[in-house]
């Protein structure tokens, strides 16, 4: 379909939702949702057309045209500078628009015969409005880094998988998809990236305005225990706040998350200096490192750390495991050993590890594992639900309440740690009740496979 036709239809849908209303305050809840969806569709269609225009401006401003280039004729150094000045966007956004436009524009060979765009799957998703420009830029940037090394066939396979996995996700989740896919697409590049990132780790301290400032930057291997410990402290603090007898008391804990994280660092350092406490207050803080069995044996490929999007090399995973306190845990695909039926009400540590392997954290919103609890899908007392993996799911406190209070349902497809978690919205959210994929599978697409988890106590 012609992009202008799609754009006109999107504008028509928006006009229909806005008709007769002076402003958004006059819209019902249903109309607000419809207007939001129409605006999103309109923006995506408009951005898709804008990428083509941006690519055209860049083509007419190419260096070989010299002073006769379009941008220089208009008084700008580059096509990006022209777009930024005339649209009000940043130069970075303008450059991104051009890159996406050039990567998805139709091409010709040396004889002038038409060729498809460099990334046809991204082009199709852009033009249909199912993928935004920012998400398309993330996918294209990854493919551009890897295409020479992995070849045309694997690039096309990766492109299709990334587009399929990114549709319907917010941009932050698309970044997770791309981060995880990079190690799958180019496993040989993980270790050099690890070395380069490790060389850039730093921590600086300085005093200003009566405060001491700490600015830190850590590679994944160094950051994993820091992140796990601080998040564990914050989770414990929130749990204590929830159980407080009088939350409105003058001395009640009203700290922000940032304050709790600062207090966590102080507690840990004081503990190391003087060993003043028998136990540091954490809430199940662990570092979980996963690697495929094949990669572990061969020493190639990559591994992942719970709660951190960037992947690490197998060598880094081995170094972390060699630090002590490691529990090797091989999970059977049928999960027979980990299923406890009605014998236990609470999920065991081994079962929780299996749920972390399957769900990756909160299966609904993606919060890291240490900020979640294992919940029965069919309630233990009301529904006589068993304490099995097939009846368990990791949820943060907010999503747990959302599911119970708002009528969402959960379905598990498959068995063991390879199963998929699906969330089924109530009819007032989606009249068709279309299931929404959750858990780790939401981000991994073609990168999913069996893993061997390593667990290291923080």
Tens digit of pLDDT for each residue in 116-144?
Answer: 889 999 999 998 889 999 999 999 999 99
pLDDT at residue 309, as a whole number: 65
What band does 440 get if pLDDT is binned at 50, 70 and 90?
Answer: confident
The alpha-helical segments, DSSP class H, found in 91-219 are: 91-104, 120-128, 133-166, 171-185, 190-198
Cα(171)–Cα(192) distance, integer angstroms = 27
pLDDT at residue 107, as a whole number: 82
Alpha carbons within 13 A on the beta-carbon side of 141: 14
The pLDDT of residue 332 is above 50: no
Q: How many beta carbons lie within 10 A of that of residue 325, not counting itself? A: 11
From the list 165, 139, 143, 130, the residue with the least C-alpha distance to 45 is: 130
Domain map (residue ranges) of the chain: 3-168, 202-285, 287-457
Cα(330)–Cα(350) distance, integer angstroms = 10
The percentage of residues in the chain with a pLDDT greater than 90, rounded to a whole number, is 21
Angle at 205 between CA 200 and CA 208, to 5 degrees: 135
What band does 331 get if pLDDT is binned at 50, 70 and 90?
Answer: very low
Give the burial string for 76-114 (b: 16+ CB within 10 Å, else e).
bebbbbbbbeeeebeeebbbbbbbbbbbbbeeeeeeeee
The pLDDT of residue 2 is above 80: no
Cα(458)–Cα(287) distance, integer angstroms = 6
Return the residue matching tokens 């649209």.
87
Cα(380)–Cα(362) distance, integer angstroms = 20
Residues 331/357, Cβ–Cβ less than 8 Å: yes
Tens digit of pLDDT for each residue in 174-183?
Answer: 988 888 887 7
What band does 20 get if pLDDT is binned at 50, 70 and 90?
Answer: low
What band does 101 get if pLDDT is binned at 50, 70 and 90?
Answer: very high
């Amino acid at each position: 379909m012609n992009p202008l036709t799609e754009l006109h239809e999107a504008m028509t849908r928006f006009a229909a939702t806005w008709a007769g209303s002076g402003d958004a305050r006059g819209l019902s809840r249903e109309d607000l949702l419809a207007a939001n969806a129409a605006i999103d569709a309109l923006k995506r269609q408009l951005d898709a057309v804008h990428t083509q225009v941006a690519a055209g401006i860049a083509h007419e401003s190419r260096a070989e045209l010299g002073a006769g280039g379009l941008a220089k004729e208009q008084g700008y150094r580059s096509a990006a500078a022209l777009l930024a000045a005339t649209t009000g966007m940043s130069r970075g956004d303008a450059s991104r628009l051009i890159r996406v436009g050039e990567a998805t524009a139709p091409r010709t060979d040396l004889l002038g015969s038409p060729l498809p765009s460099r990334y046809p799957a991204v082009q199709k998703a852009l033009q249909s409005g199912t993928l935004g420009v920012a998400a398309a830029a993330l996918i294209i940037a990854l493919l551009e880094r890897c295409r020479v090394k992995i070849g045309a066939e694997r690039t096309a396979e990766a492109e299709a998988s990334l587009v399929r996995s990114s549709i319907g996700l917010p941009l932050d989740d698309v970044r997770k998809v791309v981060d995880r896919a990079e190690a799958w697409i180019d496993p040989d590049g993980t270790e050099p990236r690890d070395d380069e990132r490790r060389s850039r780790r730093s921590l600086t301290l300085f005093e200003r305005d009566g405060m001491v400032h700490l600015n830190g930057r850590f590679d994944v291997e160094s950051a994993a225990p820091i992140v796990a410990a601080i998040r564990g402290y914050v989770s414990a603090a929130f749990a204590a706040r929830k159980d407080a007898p009088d939350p409105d008391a003058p001395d009640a804990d009203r700290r922000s998350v940032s304050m709790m994280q600062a207090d966590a660092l102080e507690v840990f350092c004081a503990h190391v200096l003087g060993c003043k406490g028998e136990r540091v207050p954490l809430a199940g803080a662990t570092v979980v490192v996963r690697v495929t069995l094949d990669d572990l044996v061969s020493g190639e490929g990559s591994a992942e750390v719970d709660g951190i999007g960037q992947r690490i090399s197998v060598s880094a995973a081995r170094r972390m495991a060699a630090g002590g306190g490691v529990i090797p845990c091989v999970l059977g695909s049928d999960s027979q050993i980990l299923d406890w039926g009605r014998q236990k009400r609470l999920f065991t540590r081994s079962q929780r590890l299996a749920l972390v392997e399957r769900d990756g954290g909160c299966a609904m919103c993606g919060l890291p594992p240490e900020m979640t609890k294992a919940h029965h899908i069919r309630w233990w007392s009301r529904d006589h639900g068993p304490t099995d993996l097939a009846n368990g799911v990791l949820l943060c406190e907010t999503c747990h309440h959302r599911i119970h209070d708002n009528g969402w349902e959960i379905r598990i497809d498959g068995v063991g740690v390879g199963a998929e978690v699906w969330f089924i919205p109530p009819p007032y959210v989606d009249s068709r009740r279309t299931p929404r994929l959750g858990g780790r599978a939401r981000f991994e697409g073609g990168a999913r496979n069996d893993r061997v988890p390593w667990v290291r106590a923080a």
